[in-house]
Structure 1
């Protein structure tokens, strides 16, 4: 089977490639950008895509939706540090076949991918636990990555995406992706509401 890994961290790409090569049933292709894999799958048969959520050229949520619209039979599994219930839900709503957190052990990663290939909804154990938690009517404080915290603080200080990118040494597209993910995590309609919620909950 042809399997594509999309992640902008070379160490993650190499680690996943090494792990999946041991399984023996995949021909593996690696990509650091979502747009590149979209071009590739238009011209080449790809059975499975392992897709990170935060990429330098956009959101894996959007890339998942595009892949499933163009090639509905392609299996798309999210593999990410993003552990927010709302992010996972949205990925699955966009057609994702499964979701793995990057802290899953190697055997579990292989198992989840095989579950997805068999047609089962494939979730790593921690993702299952997140999805099974009762949803309360109260606002649950989202778990933010270190980079998201940095972007949030910079937004609260009134910096533009260009300024934030220069300050954190990341691209403007990456900053915009973090902005979208923060809006999603905080269920905020705009940046003003985002900062308001974060301030009220003493996150900034």
Structure 2
């Protein structure tokens, strides 16, 4: 299985949730390095251990999970962050993604859906459960603006970026130089007025281009 040997840290303010997640992950032969109910303690551990993935709740007693996500990305840039929360407010979802989250799922997802989400995030994709995808794909007219005009090649590269492919992988598949792909990616960021891949995918989803 792809997830074998994936190291995970769980951060949630409810011990019973942690116990349930740990049991589920243990059954799936995943390596739970640690689990925490406070953000500060979790962040210190994550900075030291650099786990592959953090399952992060938004509600924590000492810090917002939204802010903690940004901090985790600063101290452990290679660590993926998958938010697992009961919050389905659109502004919270968007703020978390802007702070570097690699995915957002609700706690009512099934075991299979959670494991699938973890697998996709670890494969480099930005993943949302179905309900979250529906929420972020229904922007107001003010937020949406005009749909950017994309060339055929830009649409192709946008889809490959959304699939989690790296610049090198895209260049190899399209038989062009990585510099050419980087130019297309910069153009996509400019056209969508975004700063990173998560925002790009989010905006492309809003415009129903993915």
TM-score norm. by structure 1 comes to 0.64
What is the Cα deviation at residue 20 of structure 1?
Answer: 1.1
Q: Which whole-Å CA distance do the structure 2 matches of 1:120 and 1:67 have between them?
A: 18
Q: Which whole-Å CA distance do the structure 1 matches of 2:85 and 2:30 have between them?
A: 23
SS in 2 for 1:4: strand
Q: Does 1:123 align with 2:128?
A: yes
- Give runs of aligned pairs for residues 99-114 of structure 1, distance below 5 A: 99-114=104-119
- Give runs of aligned pairs for residues 14-25 of structure 1, distance below 5 A: 14-25=19-30
What is the Cα deviation at residue 54 of structure 1?
Answer: 1.0
- Give runs of aligned pairs for residues 1-204 of structure 1, distance below 5 A: 1-137=6-142
Deviations 1:161-183 (A, max 9, x none): xxxxxxxxxxxxxxxxxxxxxxx
**Structure 1 equivalent of residue 198 of structure 2:** none
SS in 1 for 2:55: strand
8 Å Cα contact 1:85-1:130 kept in structure 2: yes
8 Å Cα contact 1:17-1:28 kept in structure 2: no
C-alpha RMSD of the superposition: 1.5
8 Å Cα contact 2:8-2:30 kept in structure 1: no
SS in 1 for 2:20: helix
Q: Which whole-Å CA distance do the structure 2 matches of 1:100 and 1:137 have between them?
A: 26
8 Å Cα contact 2:102-2:126 kept in structure 1: yes
What is the Cα deviation at residue 104 of structure 1?
Answer: 1.1
**Structure 1 equivalent of residue 207 of structure 2:** none
Unaligned 5+ segments in structure 1 are: 139-204
Q: Which whole-Å CA distance do the structure 2 matches of 1:26 and 1:129 have between them?
A: 31
**Structure 2 equivalent of residue 149 of structure 1:** none
